[in-house]
Each structure stands twice: as C-alpha cells, then as structure tokens.
C-alpha cells in the first residue's frame, strides 16, 4: 500500500475528530492506517483482543509496532491495554515512544499520574517535543515540577542545555527553590529561555515570582497582551 502520508481531506479529518476526539490523522501514513484497520477488524472477533495484541507485539517489526501503538485509543477495552502502552514508553526507540506519547489521547485517558510523569521526563531525556502530548496542561503536578527542576540541575551540572519547554510544568507549582532556578534562567539564558522563564513566572502566584517578572517589563507586557504563550515559544524554538 505504500508508506506515503495519508491523503485525508478536511472532511475526512473532521469526521475522524467526531468519531474519536484527540486522534489526528495528520500523523498517519497509508500503511499505518491499513494496519490499524486490520486490527480493528480483528477486534470484532470474540477472542480477548488485549491478549492477541500482546502476542502480536512480541513478533512485530518497528513499523508494525508504531501502527499498533498509534491505534491504542481506537481499540476495545482500553484499560486492559495500559501495560502494553507502558511497554511502548520503555523502549529505546524514539519512533515507538512517540507513537504512544505524542498526538495520542490514550496516555491522558488511561495512565496514572506517576506514569504520565515518567512519560514527560522520558520525552525530555530523548529530546521529544512536549507540545504534542495531549491534555498536558491538566496533568502538570507538584511532584513532576520538582522532578523537572531536578532534571534541569542535572543538565546544568553536565554543562548541557535545558529545553525551554521544561519550564511549562514548573511555574504554577514554583516554590522558593524553583523560583531561584527561574531567576537563573532569566539572568543567564538565551532569549528563548528567558521567555520561557517569564511565562513560567507569570503562572506563579508567589510574590517573588511577580517581582522577578517585573524585572522584564517588555516580556511581562507581551504575556499580558497574549502576544507570547507556550505555543508561540514552541514555534520560535523550532525555527532556531
């Protein structure tokens, strides 16, 4: 069938969004769509689908695995598939990890908070983008914020850069130590990193955060006027 991108029309994409919100067709290829269609057809049989899928995964190549994981939100009995999806996150292959983690509503709907935290940290570790992780805004939490700051310190200690998107999960949970980290970014980071720090500070209710943000009046004004947000920052990062 070929491996070209799926040639879906606007009507196709709208129908897909109605049938299964959160599962975009834009990241599918023709062979991937065909494999998922075959799996959905097989799921109509009475045998336990989760067990059959587990056996199939054990003998699949990379392309087949990506299709299996992309189809997760479409299969029956999703709660039974959580262990399978977790295995996909443990892989060392970025393409397989991203089939589970990115553009996929399954993690947001089925994963525990701890599993989602692990997924975000793994995405940073293998340099996958965070913005395609669905429902991430409602999944940020204090434990993850602390782990993100810890990861940033590890990167700094090794003399390695910290992706600006990391600070998305810190601002609203920032304690004194996290605000000190954001102050460091604001003082020594690149223009994009300083923008990320400003966005994080703007989400904090701590007086110290407001005071730091006041030190960057132009950024503060752009944030208040909605000229800068995390989506804009992501676009700027990709353009660099």
Q: Give the 3-state DSSP-derived string for 77-119, with helices as H, strands as E and coil as C.
A: CHHHHHHHHHHHHCCCCHHHHHHHHCCCCHHHHHCCHHHHHHH
Question: In angstroms, how far is CA 23 from the centroid of its own chain?
Answer: 14
Q: Are residues 122 and 19 part of one domain? A: yes
Q: Are residues 61 and 18 part of one domain? A: yes
**Looking at the domain assignment, is residue 3 inside a domain?**
no
**Looking at the domain assignment, is residue 56 inside a domain?**
yes
Q: Are residues 218 and 112 part of one domain? A: no
Of 92, 85, 93, 150, the C-alpha closest to 116 is: 85
Q: What is the pLDDT along the chain (240 residues), one digit of tens a residue?
A: 888 888 888 888 888 888 887 776 667 888 988 999 999 998 887 778 899 899 999 999 999 999 999 999 999 989 999 999 999 999 989 999 999 999 999 999 999 999 999 999 999 999 999 999 999 999 999 999 999 999 999 999 999 999 999 999 999 999 999 999 999 999 999 999 999 999 999 999 999 999 999 999 999 999 999 999 999 998 888 766
Domain range spanning residue 39? Answer: 10-138
Q: Are residues 166 and 134 part of one domain? A: no
Q: Are residues 157 and 185 part of one domain? A: yes
Q: Are residues 172 and 124 part of one domain? A: no
Residue 29: CB atoms within 10 A of its CB come to 18
């Amino acid at each position: 069938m070929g491996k070209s991108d799926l040639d879906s029309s606007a009507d196709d994409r709208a129908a897909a969004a109605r049938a299964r919100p959160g599962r975009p067709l834009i990241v599918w290829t023709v062979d991937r769509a065909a494999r998922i269609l075959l799996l959905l057809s097989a799921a109509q049989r009475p045998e336990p689908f989760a067990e059959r899928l587990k056996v199939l995964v054990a003998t699949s190549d990379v392309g087949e695995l990506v299709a299996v994981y992309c189809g997760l939100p479409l299969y029956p009995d999703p709660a039974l598939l959580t262990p399978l999806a977790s295995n996909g996150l443990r892989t060392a292959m970025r393409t397989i990890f991203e089939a589970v983690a990115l553009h996929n509503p399954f993690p947001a709907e089925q994963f525990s908070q701890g599993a989602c935290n692990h997924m975000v940290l793994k995405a940073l570790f293998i340099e996958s983008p965070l913005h395609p992780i669905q429902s991430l805004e409602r999944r940020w939490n204090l434990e993850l914020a602390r782990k993100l700051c810890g990861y940033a310190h590890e990167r700094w200690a090794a003399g390695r850069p910290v992706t600006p998107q990391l600070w998305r999960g810190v601002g609203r949970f920032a304690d004194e130590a996290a605000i000190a980290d954001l102050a460091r970014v604001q003082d020594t980071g690149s223009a994009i990193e300083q923008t990320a720090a400003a966005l994080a500070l703007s989400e904090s209710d701590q007086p110290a955060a407001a005071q730091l943000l006041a030190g960057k009046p132009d950024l503060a004004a752009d944030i208040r006027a909605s000229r800068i947000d995390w989506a804009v920052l992501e676009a700027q990062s990709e353009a660099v």
